[in-house]
Amino acid sequence: MSLELHENVSLQPFNTFGIHVSARLFAQAGNEQDVREALALAAERGLPLLVIGGGSNLLLTRDVEALVLRMASRGLRIVEDDGESVVVEAEAGEPWHPFVQWSIAQGLAGLENLSLIPGTVGAAPIQNIGAYGVEIKDVFAGLTALDQQTGELREFTLGECAFGYRDSLFKRQAGRWIILRVRFRLLRNAQLHLEYGPVRQRLQEMGIESATSADVSRAICAIRSEKLPDPAVLGNAGSFFKNPVVSAALAERIRAEHPDLVAYPVGEGEMKLAAGWLIERAGWKGYQDGDAGVHRLQALVLVNYGDAQGQQLLDLARRIQADILQRFGVTLEIEPNVL
């Protein structure tokens, strides 16, 4: 058996909130065989298996009575190339941002708007991660997952993943699928997405008139670094709440009282509101209760200023949710997975 199993391991280094809780058992999987061994060991010990990546979308509120398996498989390869588009396959344990930078260095475009997002490749499809007008579904070419129920491998196409806003089949069927490898279709001739104002503005400030994918990546890294705290410095999981989608009628009622409401049409009679705007307008930006708080520059981000417990952060999130519902009639949905 190649899998190294450890007992009562602190998960503090393995979640970006820096929450100290213990895992009953802990192991790291470098390949598919390690994953299968972990499944067998979890069943043998009568424990559930909890699979994690970079821990960047996870709020731990208690010790974990499970075998926690961290995906640590590495590998990047080109599996198709027709001269115009290239399919790249990445192992689930590859850190996301270095993978994006690798793709740009290969002269491939498509992932630049997703620069500097924390986490791993295997976790990216679960949340259908997105930023600045691009989501995983826009560049997705397939993935390989292991079915925990049957032990069989399955290949997923775009349609089978049922991607939605920060959502997918894998999120809705949590605990069933272990993503092993993900494939992305990228382009040799960049079709850049510059619709979001801050991106164009930053490129102009950089003196760039004809941008490359590398330029866009640098611009977005600069924007994110200014807006979002580095998890290595201040514990956080990025955006803590999803941007809510509400009826156009509700959006107009809010706008009648708050003309500067940030909202975008997303469909017939629906508007997407900026959760950060709602939270900031309600006065939560910069709020701190012990070591749990709301970031002073970005109201959408909850932070651990030191030794906050996961339950403290969850309690703060619920207070914010209740306040936003009472003030605006809008229900905020928590984005990270809460355990």
- β-strand 301-304 against 153-156: which pairing, if any? unpaired
pLDDT in the model for residue 196: 77
CA angle 205-208-211, nearest 5°? 130
Angle between helices 197-205 and 213-227 (to 10 degrees): 110
DSSP assignment letter at 234 = S
> Does residue 152 have an active-site annotation?
no
Q: Are 93 and 121 in contact (CB under 8 A)?
A: yes
What pLDDT score was predicted for residue 1?
58
Is residue 226 annotated as a catalytic residue, yes or no? no
> Does pLDDT of 245 surpass 80?
yes
Give the residue, 244 or 1, on which the prediction is more confident. 244
Average pLDDT over residues 12-16: 96
Q: Which domains does the chain have, with CATH numbers?
A: 6-71 (3.30.43.10), 76-227 (3.30.465.10), 235-338 (3.90.78.10)
- State whether residue 204 is helix, strand or coil: helix
Mean pLDDT value across residues 270-288:
96
112: annotated active-site residue: no
Distances (CA, A) of 190 to 62, 121, 173, 196: 45, 22, 35, 17
Average pLDDT over residues 204-216: 92
Instruction: Kindly tell me the number of DSSP H helices and DSSP E strands found in the chain.
Output: 10, 20
User: Could you give the count of Cα atoms lying within 13 Å of 59 in the half-sphere of its Cβ?
Assistant: 27
Q: How many CB atoms lie within 10 A of CB 325?
A: 12
Q: Could you tell me the pLDDT band of residue 209, with boundaries at 50, 70 and 90?
A: confident
DSSP 14: G
CA angle 33, 36, 39 (to 5 degrees): 150
Q: What distance, in Å, lies between the first and last C-alpha atoms of the chain?
A: 29
By percentage, how much of the chain surpasses pLDDT 90?
Answer: 86
pLDDT bin (cut points 50, 70, 90) of residue 198 is confident
What does DSSP say about strands 140-147 and 177-187: parallel, antiparallel, or unpaired? antiparallel
Given 166, 181, 183, 202, which residue is catalytic?
166
Place of tokens 């009648």: 256
Pairing relationship of beta strands 64-71 and 85-91 according to DSSP bridges: unpaired
pTM for this model (two decimals): 0.89
